[in-house]
Structure 1
Amino acid sequence: MESLNVMVRSINMHIKRYNIGATKKVVCLHGFTGSSSTWEEVISYLPSSVEVLTIDLIGHGLTDKPSDIARYHVDEQIEDLHAIFQQLEWTHFTLVGYSMGGRLALAYTSKYPVHTLILESSSPGLADDGERQKRKLSDELLAERIMKEGVISFVDFWEEIALFQTQKKLSHEKQLLIRHERLAQSAVGLSNSLKGFSTGVQPSYWGVLSNLSIPVFLLAGELDLKFCAIAKRMQKELPNSQMEVVKDAGHAIHVEKPKIFATIIEEVILEEE
């Protein structure tokens, strides 16, 4: 594994590369409060014939946390990803995105070509302007709370939301690893990410789905009823999609069922051949 910082459009972004030089290419984008480390167990189950690139998105992990909120907007992050892919000369790859990272993966794919898209517990955003404004205000309040109370207090709150209750069934050791990754974030990075790239801020991509001709694989955890419903709606709009519901899993399938998640990625790549 190679871990390094790369200069991308005036900011330093942290990336990791596994199995460098392998023919098959996969990019993995983490969710809010995550980092490239979230994918390590999944990668351990993938064959060495697959090169994997993981990226700390802006405001997260070891990537810069600029003060300019506009720098976190989806259009900026799309160009950050594209700059990285151009530096690495990657043009044919599978793009995997989880939750927030899935929103970004879908947004990227709406502008630039990828071979295959895998969306885990992801959404195209909110189509209703009123819902989007309500969510924007809610996320801004949460962002202010993070700055006022700090990361530890926020993580204590975040761990208790309904979306992550299934993670309490994981081993104590694994729960501590997840908590450590969340606590490693910065208040400024998380706050600015919410203000610049929350579901309430980004535009809706529901209207883009019918134009995507590439293969799109939609993954949802059986116990995550909200995102199962969203995935079903997305599948109706996508012309070339498949949906898989992972049994006994919640929102973060790659964390709760890493071996199954790796198997799905491998099967998707094999379908390309």
Structure 2
Amino acid sequence: MAAATKIQSITIDSETIINVATTTPVASRQEQPTLVFLHFWGGSSRTWSQVIGPLSSQYPTVAIDFRGWGSSVGPSDPQAYSIKCLAKDVTAVIGHLGLSDFVLVGHSMGAKVAQAIAGGASSKLTEGIRGMALIAPAPPSPFTLPEGMREQQIHAYEHAESAEFVAKNVLTASDIGESAVQALVQDMLRGNEWARAAWPAYAMAEDVCAPSKRSHVPCTVIAADEDVIEPVERIQKEVLPRFQNAALVVVKNSGHMIPIEAPMAIVEHITQLLTSLR
């Protein structure tokens, strides 16, 4: 049975408040690492609901709304939504919650944040990282869109019509149902203007290769065979070589939104990772 969810707000500074959803197993025979979930550009903590549900009966979970997304608040500063800033927020949340044994689970942009955090695992607040699961990960290397495409992405989440088009025709490769589409659209539109613009404007071009290269934690990389955002070939070339302990699995018949299109595949592979860490 899925554990009950507790919502709390963690103040980072005078302009930044991070919304966090946590679950704790009702009963567990032994201590288990906490799963820390980091969402994609345009998502929120609820993006993970179908993954967290089956896992929460055995493992404690923490799902974070990045600054400016979901119910989190961020600064009125266009430069305050970098991967470095997001990683610092997550590290602060880890410290606030007192997590000393955890696994990072990141999707797309959230996976790039996870890679940046794992590379700094020698710091006191993140030395408890046990492993990572990177879902359709954005590479740690810089990636810059052509100017026309960059402008399209910056404005992709400004209106319900454009957000719905992206959800149905770019992010997914299968029919996820109208309610799931509308939930995605709501999250996309809920992001503040600086958070929406930051990823295509400059955050995807950030270079976190140096930190990620230092990461030796076990890592499961989950790609999708029909993902046009982060195709398997790019992940093989740009993500896997950065880690000494990474294994790639490819989910069939899914697009970029693996947490919604194939959540049980993620549950299966995270469970396998956790079993290998014991």
* TM tier relative to shorter chain: 0.7 to 0.9
Q: Distance in 1 between matches of 2:213 and 2:195?
A: 34
Matching residue of 1:166: 173
Residue among 223, 227, 244 paired with 1:224 = 227
Quote the Cα distance in structure 1 between the aligned partners of 2:220 and 2:190.
31
Q: 1:235 aligns with which of 219, 237, 240?
A: 240
Superposed displacement of residue 72, structure 1: 1.3
Secondary structure of the 1:70 match is coil
Closer, same or farther: CA 135–56 of 1 in aligned 2, 3 Å? farther
1:247 aligns with 2:252: yes
Deviation of residue 6 (structure 1)?
A: 1.0
Work out the CA distance in 1 between the residues paired with 2:86 and 2:212: 20
String of CA shifts for 1:198-255, please: whole Å, max 9, x gaps.
Answer: x12x1242x5444321101110012226431122223234211111111222111111
- What is the CA distance between 1:110 and its match in structure 2? 1.1
Structure 1 residue runs of 5 or longer lacking an equivalent are: none
Compared with structure 1, are the counterparts of its residues 175 and 78 closer, same or farther at alpha carbon in structure 2 (3 Å cutoff)? closer
| Contact 1:96-1:118 at 8 Å conserved across structures | yes
Alignment partner, residue 44 of structure 1 = 53
Mapped to 2, the partners of 1:179 and 1:141 lie a distance apart of 16
Q: How does 1:85-104 map to 2 (within 5 A)?
A: 85-104=94-113
Show structure 2 runs of 5+ residues with no match.
122-126
Note closer, same or farther for the CA distance 1:63–1:195 as it changes in structure 2 (3 Å cut): farther
Cα separation, 2, equivalents of 1:91 and 1:170: 36
Moved more, 66-75 or 245-254: 66-75
Q: TM-score under structure 2 normalisation?
A: 0.83
Deviations 1:63-108 (A, max 9, x none): 1132112321222222211111111111210100000101111011
1:119 shift after superposition: 0.6
Distance 1:178 1:141 in 2: 18
208-217 or 45-54, which deviates more: 208-217
CA offsets 1:88-136 (integer angstroms, 9 cap, x no match):
1112101000001011110111112321011111132445xxx63x558
Amino acid of the residue matched to residue 180 of structure 1? Q
| Equivalent residue pairs, number | 261
Change (3 A) 1:193 1:41: same
Over 3 Å counting, the alpha-carbon distance change for 1:123 and 1:165 in structure 2 is closer
Q: How far apart, in 2, do the equivalents of 1:232 and 1:256 lie?
A: 21
Q: 2:186 aligned with 1:180, yes or no?
A: yes
Is the contact between residue 219 and residue 231 of structure 1 (CA under 8 Å) also seen in structure 2? no
Alpha-carbon distance between aligned partners in 1 of 2:245 and 2:42, rounded to the nearest angstrom: 31
Question: CA separation of 1:172/1:137 partners in 2, compared to 1, >3 Å: closer, same or farther?
Answer: closer
> Is the Cα contact below 8 Å between 1:123 and 1:230 reproduced in 2?
no
Equivalences for residues 33-72 of structure 1 within 5 A: 33-72=42-81
Residues in 1 aligned to 2:219 and 2:189: alpha-carbon distance in whole angstroms: 33
In the alignment, the residues of structure 1 paired with residue 49 and residue 74 of structure 2 have an alpha-carbon distance, to the nearest angstrom, of 23
- TM-score, length basis structure 1: 0.84
* 1:267 corresponds to: 272
Counterpart of 1:152 in structure 2 is 160
Residue 181 of structure 1 and its aligned partner are, at CA, apart by: 3.1
Q: Secondary structure at the match of 1:31?
A: coil
User: What's 2:13 paired with?
Assistant: 9
SS in 2 for 1:115: strand
Instruction: Look up the match of 1:119.
Output: 134
Q: Residue 250 and residue 135 in structure 1: after superposition, are their counterparts in 2 closer, same or farther (change >3 A)?
A: same
